[in-house]
Amino acid sequence: MPVHRPEQRHPHSPCPTGLLLTLALALALLVLTAQPSSARDGGTPPRGSAYMGMGVAAHDGTDGVPAGTLAAQTEGVDVSSHQGNVAWSTLWSSGVKWAYVKATEGTYYTNPYFAQQYNGSYNVGMIRGAYHFATPDTTDGATQADYFVDHGGGWSRDSRTLPGVLDIEWNPYGDACFGKSASGMVTWIRDFVNRYKARTGRDPVIYTATSWWKQCTGNSSAFASANPLWIARYAASVGELPAGWSYYTMWQYTSTGPTVGDHDRFNGALDRVVALANG
C-alpha cells in the first residue's frame, strides 16, 4: 500500500505569511501611485480645514505690510480652529479691539473651538462676529446661510456683535471658482446674502480678494451698495477694490501677525466698529 508523504517545501521558498505580506505591500504601493499627486503630497486639504485668507498669499503674493495703525483705523483679528484656544487677553493688551471667528463651512463643518474663541473675545471686551467659509460646489447659497445662522452666525443688537461674514475666495479643494460660471457664482452669492438678511435683518459682510472676485464673478458690482467689503491683500496698501465698492470696511493685511497670524484693520475708529455692530 503506497504511503502518502507530505509535500516538502524548498528551504528558500517564502512561507505563506511572508508571501501575503509581500502582496499586501505591493498592493498598497499600487494604490498610492494610482492616486493623484495632490493626494499623495498633501496638496488637497481635508474638507473643513479651510480658513479666511487660505489662498491669498499663494495667488496674490505678499508685498510688505502697511505703515503703523492710523488713529482712524482699529486693529482686529480673524481666527479658526487652526488657532485652537486663543490668548485673547494678550491680543486685547496689544491693541486688538475686534475679532471674527470661523463658525461654519459648507453644511458639513462647525468649528470645535468656536465657543472658546467667540465667547473668549467677547469676555475680554472685544466686539466680535462669526464667518462662514463658502463652498458653492456643495449646496446652494440659501442652504448654507441657514446652516451658518443655525450654528453661531446669528446677530443681535447689543453693540458687541458684528454682522456675519460670507468668506468667498479660492476653493482649496478643487477648481478656484467651485466649478461655477461668473453668473452662477453671482446667483449663489445673492442667494446667500438674501437669506442671511431674511434670517437676521442684517446685510452680511463679504470677504474676498479682488483678483478672485474678477475671475469668479466677472467683477460683479451687484453687492457693493448693501454689503460691507472686507478686502484681502497682504501688502502695504489695499490696491484695487472689486467693482462697485469705492471703499473697504475691513482689510486683512497679513497672515503673519503677532499671537494668531491673521490681522486686520477696520477702516474707522472704534466708534465705527460699534456702529457696524449696531446696524
Task: Confirm whether 41 is a catalytic residue.
Answer: no
Task: Confirm whether 105 is a catalytic residue.
Answer: no
Note the Cα 28 to chain centre separation in Å. Answer: 33
H-run or E-run covering 109 = strand 109-110
Nearest to 189 by CA among 208, 162, 161: 208
From the candidates 169, 203, 262, 264, give the one annotated as an active-site residue.
169
From the candidates 60, 105, 146, 167, give the one annotated as an active-site residue.
167
- State the cell numbers at 120: 473668549
Question: Strand, helix or coil at 217?
Answer: helix
From the candidates 78, 105, 203, 262, give the one annotated as an active-site residue.
78
Task: Confirm whether 75 is a catalytic residue.
Answer: no
Give yes or no for a contact between 118 and 182, defined as CB atoms under 8 angstroms apart: no
- State the cell numbers at 130: 462669526
Give yes or no for a contact between 177 and 215, defined as CB atoms under 8 angstroms apart: yes
Q: Where are the alpha helices (DSSP H) in the chain?
A: 16-34, 37-41, 56-60, 88-93, 114-123, 141-150, 182-200, 210-217, 270-278
- State the cell numbers at 259: 499671537
Other beta carbons within 10 angstroms of residue 247's beta carbon come to 12
Catalytic amino acids?
78, 167, 169
